[in-house]
Chains A and B, each alone.
Chain A
Amino acid sequence: MIKLLSIAINDLRVMFADRGIWVQIVAIPVAIAFFIGLANGGFGAGDPVPLLIDIFDNDSGELAAQFLTDLRATDSNLVLCPADADLCRLDGSELTEEQAQTRLTDGITSAIIEIPAGFSTQALAGDSTAIIYRSEEGLGQTSAVLSAVQAVVQRVSGAVVAANVGVNVFENSGPDFRFADDADQAAFEKAIYDRATVIWTALPPAVQYSESARQQTSGFSQSIPGIATMYVMANVLVGAIILITERKQWTLQRLIMMPVSRGQVIGGKMLARFVTGMIQYAVLFAFGFMLGVRYGDSPLAILLVMVVFTLCATAMSLLLATIVTTDQQAGAILNLVILTLAPLGGAWWPLEIMPQWMQVVGHISPIAWAMEGFQTVIFHGGGVQDVIPPMLVLLAITAVCFIIAVRRFKYE
């Protein structure tokens, strides 16, 4: 273990002996994160992107109306069609289900919401009913619209349940007390519903994030984690070139002729890369903090994403080292890998602004999963639990790279 640490420390010493490293891990990444952040809206809010939703209200009841009002209230950028006619890009034509489906596939709308006939009466009677929500998003993808819908559904149904409980309590409370008539009962239910709604809305609104998401995705809070993740990948993958250099200058061979195990050598080298990656994250996130970027409420979740992604990059660098043989070759592959995986994974711009199919393809890039983790925490106020699914994907990639690399790794 001491030898492993010594190897890692020595690697870092060699790296920092070169003054150019500061340009590589501080100056350039900071400049790029700054300019990309600026180009995407910088300090202020970018132009909010309207989020179109096609609504089929087959119920037209009181609760359905309530639901739509509540939904609209969550985010000023939500456009409910066909109600908000001029923003709906419908060209005056009637909205059919078929058309809605096409609009959804083409990415014009974010979702289709269908409120079934009888929704209000069934819900108020305490029967189960459901709002149908359709979108093109993959499972596990956090969408502002879906979260808003869920939050509102919860609120509305919570209030309905509360109203029903109130009525039941009332009916069972004694033989002497009866509603004068049905209107009386309805009025009573309404009163409880309203009260419950007040209570629910008094809770911290669950959809708060969607505002901040609109405001920040286009600025530094996108570019800092994006560019940081890209440079972490670059500076960790460079480990493959370092290994080739060490073979060329015979220091690797010298190590092997010493009483040091293969595991200690590989472990030490990987630890050094890992630390480099974490330093890179620290540098850019600190810079972002100075620019006023805030990283959500869970520093632990942010740290988890950083650690897992850096691990993943480290395993990739080991794999790369087993594939390449010359440093020119390594340099070329490195550039190719980074210049593909970074934009694909949403390091340069948010993946959400890309066409749907690009968003899907983009998830072959580990960067996409890291960005998903960061966005969950930074934009959606997520915590450790919320970043676990994308982190599991990254850990799986890590394991696969590592296992292949260790099998392929040859000293000779």
Chain B
Amino acid sequence: METLVEARGLVKNFKRKDGTEVQAVKGVNLDIQKGEIFSLLGPNGAGKTTTISMISGLLTPTSGDARIGGFSITKQPMEAKRLMGVVPQEIALYPTLSARQNLNFFGRMYGMGGAELNKRIDEVLDLIDLKDRQKDKVDTFSGGMKRRVNIGVGLLHRPQLIYMDEPTVGIDPQNRRRILDTVLRLRDEYKMTVLYTTHLMEESQELSDRVGIIDHGEIIAMGTVGELIQQVGEEDQLVLKIGEQTIDTSLIERIPKEIQGVTRAAFEPPGETGDQTSGEVIVYAKRGRKALPHLIQIANEAALEIMSVEVREPDLEAVFLHMTGRALRD
């Protein structure tokens, strides 16, 4: 495996208006392998955009450096920038120019021109499915269409590496699906390397070969989705909702003893956490689905009325919760 992006000790301090400093990124190390989709998962304000800005040459790191294909982004920025395409979190387009004019201008910034550029613009317009609207001004586009042009600009010069900073923010499910499919195609068909940031666990889980979880400017976990989940244990959670009913503690104690594979069980009365209106029996089991019939049987014997059952497989959300004690969505 060849490493395409190699960041070491990236730190970024910002000066606040009142003169104090904030450290938005606190020593990030990253290794992105050629041909993989690497996602940077973290809540708002975690430092995703700041990190991307440093490894794309937009911000100068307070300390640390990154090498892109062997070129230092701080010392050989031109060479490094040529290798990458960037899709910023913001829609970075000229709103009063047409989609084609935008693509044309930014293409020239990569040194393209003439027939080659025109051909490439056509290809990109095909890929982002906007050929029929290419002559229209960008500010007449829907949010999803703008997002697609935004991505298109990053792909123009056929980079081997692309950074995509939350490319699905603020758009409808249909457009989101389209973008996720495009990202997968970039890796599978075009053999590109993708750095994808998101605060959505589902996207990260679906797309990534590897994930880095970032919080408060630090990478707190890194690996394949499987590896990360293993770190928190591979247990499923079975959640039985039982409404206002009360439950005997002896019953809770029986569950791990009687059902094979269950490690522990707990009861959370209604109103305990957040907006929970129903009491919940939470059972942790190696293979949740297998334990389910037995669990329901015990509940029936105790004349417990079950309103709903949910099997929660361990996911990155659980990893985040495990590492930070907070939910990713907060």
Interface residues of B in 102-150 (CB under 8 A from A): 105-106, 108-111, 113, 137
Which of A7, A13, A18, A257 lies in contact with B57, CB distance below 8 A?
A257
Flag if A259 contacts B111 (CB, 8 Å): yes
Q: How far is the CA of A411 from the CA of B96 in the complex (A)?
A: 24
* Cα–Cα distance between A321 and B109 once the two chains are bound (Å): 23
**Cβ B58 vs Cβ A253 within 8 A:** yes
Tell me if B287 counts as interface (CB < 8 A to partner A).
no
Give the residue name and chain of the A residue nearest to B90 (CB): A250
A3→B110 CA distance, assembly (Å): 9
- With contacts A250-B88, A253-B88, A411-B58 taken as known, whether A258 is within 8 angstroms of B110 at the C-beta atoms is yes
Complex interface: chain A residues within 8 A of B60 (CB): 412
B86 at the interface (CB under 8 A from A): yes
B247 interface residue per 8 A CB criterion = no
Instruction: Determine if A412 and B110 form an interchain contact, defined as CB atoms under 8 angstroms apart.
Output: no
Q: Is B239 engaged at the interface, CB distance under 8 Å to the other chain?
A: no
Residue of A nearest to B59 (CB): A412
Given A3-B108, A6-B109, A250-B88, A257:B96 Cβ within 8 A: no
B92 near A249 (CB under 8 angstroms)? yes
Q: Are B110 and A259 within 8 A (Cβ)?
A: yes
Complexed CA–CA distance, A255 and B105 (Å): 10
Residues of A close to B59: CB separation below 8 A: 412
With both chains docked as a complex, state the minimum distance between the C-beta of A268 and any C-beta of chain B, in angstroms.
10
- Interface residues in A1-52 by Cβ distance below 8 A to B read 2-3, 6-7, 10, 13-14, 17-18
Instruction: Produce 1/0 per residue, B40-64, CB < 8 A to A.
Output: 0000000000000100111110000
Determine whether B190 belongs to the interface, using a CB cutoff of 8 Å to chain A: no
Shortest A298–chain B CB gap in Å is 39
What residues on B are CB-neighbors of A258 within 8 Å?
A: 81, 86, 106, 109-110
B93 within 8 A of A: yes
- In whole Å, how far is B321's beta carbon from the nearest beta carbon of chain A? 33
Selected contact of A257 from candidates B56, B91, B108, B137, CB within 8 Å: B56
User: Is A256 in the interface zone, CB < 8 Å from B?
Assistant: yes
Is B224 at the interface (CB under 8 A from chain A)? no
Chain A residues contacting B81 (CB-CB under 8 Å) are: 257-259
Q: Which residues of B contact A250 (CB under 8 A)?
A: 88, 90-92
CB nearest neighbor in A for B52: A257
Q: Does A254 contact B (CB under 8 A)?
A: yes
For the complex, is B153 an interface residue (Cβ under 8 Å from A)? yes
Alpha-carbon distance A294/B158, docked complex (angstroms): 56
A141 CB-CB contact with B under 8 Å: no
Q: In angstroms, how far is the closest chain A Cβ from the Cβ of B97?
A: 6
Please state if A256 and B57 are interface contacts (CB–CB under 8 Å).
yes
B97→A255 contact, CB < 8 A: no
- Which single residue of chain B is at the shortest CB-CB distance from A14? B94
A13 to B111, CA, bound (A): 19
Chain B residue with the shortest CB-CB distance to A17: B96
Question: Which residues on the B side are within 8 Å of A251 (C-beta)?
Answer: 92-94
Q: In this assembly, does B176 line the interface, its C-beta being within 8 Å of a C-beta of chain A?
A: no
Closest to A258 in B: B109
Residues of B within 8 A of A261 (CB): 78
The answer to the question of B278 belonging to the interface, with a C-beta cut-off of 8 Å to chain A, is no
Size class of the contact patch on chain A = 20 to 34
The residue on A at minimum CB distance from B60 is: A412
Q: Which residue of A lies closest to B78 (CB)?
A: A259
Per the bound structure, the CA–CA distance linking A381 and B159 in Å amounts to: 60
Residues of A within 8 A of B137 (CB): 17
Given contacts A249-B90, A250-B91, contact A257 B58 (CB under 8 A): yes
**Chain A residues, Cβ within 8 Å of B57:** 256-257
Identify the closest chain A residue to B96 (Cβ).
Answer: A17
Contact of A2 among B93, B97, B108 (CB under 8 A): B108
Residue of B nearest to A246 (CB): B94
Q: Does A260 contact B (CB under 8 A)?
A: yes
A260 surroundings in chain B (CB, below 8 A): 109
Q: Is B33 an interface residue (CB 8 A)?
A: no
**A249 proximity list for chain B (CB < 8 A):** 90-95
Known: A14-B96, A411-B58. A254 touches B153 (CB 8 A): yes
Nearest chain B CB to A272 CB, angstrom units: 13
Residue in A13, A257, A411 whose beta carbon sits within 8 Å of that of B101 in the complex = A13
Closest to A262 in B: B77
Q: Are B58 and A14 in contact (CB under 8 A)?
A: no
CB of B92 within 8 A of CB of A3, answer no
**Residue B216 interfacial (CB < 8 Å):** no
* Most A Cβ at <10 Å: residue of B81, B94, B101: B94
Cβ-defined contact, B58 with A3, below 8 A = no
B286 within 8 A of A: no
Are B108's CB and A254's CB within 8 A?
no
Question: For residue A7, which residues in chain B have a CB less than 8 angstroms away from its CB?
Answer: 109
Interface residues of B, Cβ cutoff 8 Å to A: 53, 56-60, 77-79, 81-82, 84, 86, 88, 90-97, 101, 105-106, 108-111, 113, 137, 153
Chain A interface (Cβ < 8 Å from any Cβ of B): 2-3, 6-7, 10, 13-14, 17-18, 249-251, 253-261, 411-412
Closest 7 A/B residue pairs (Cβ): A250-B92, A254-B92, A250-B90, A17-B96, A6-B108, A259-B81, A258-B109
Known: A249-B93, A257-B88, A258-B106. 19 other contacts (CB 8 A): A7-B109, A10-B97, A10-B105, A17-B96, A17-B97, A18-B96, A249-B91, A249-B94, A250-B88, A250-B91, A253-B53, A253-B90, A254-B153, A255-B109, A256-B58, A257-B86, A258-B110, A260-B109, A411-B58
| Contacts A/B (CB < 8 Å), 8 sampled | A10-B94, A10-B97, A17-B137, A253-B88, A253-B90, A258-B81, A258-B86, A258-B109
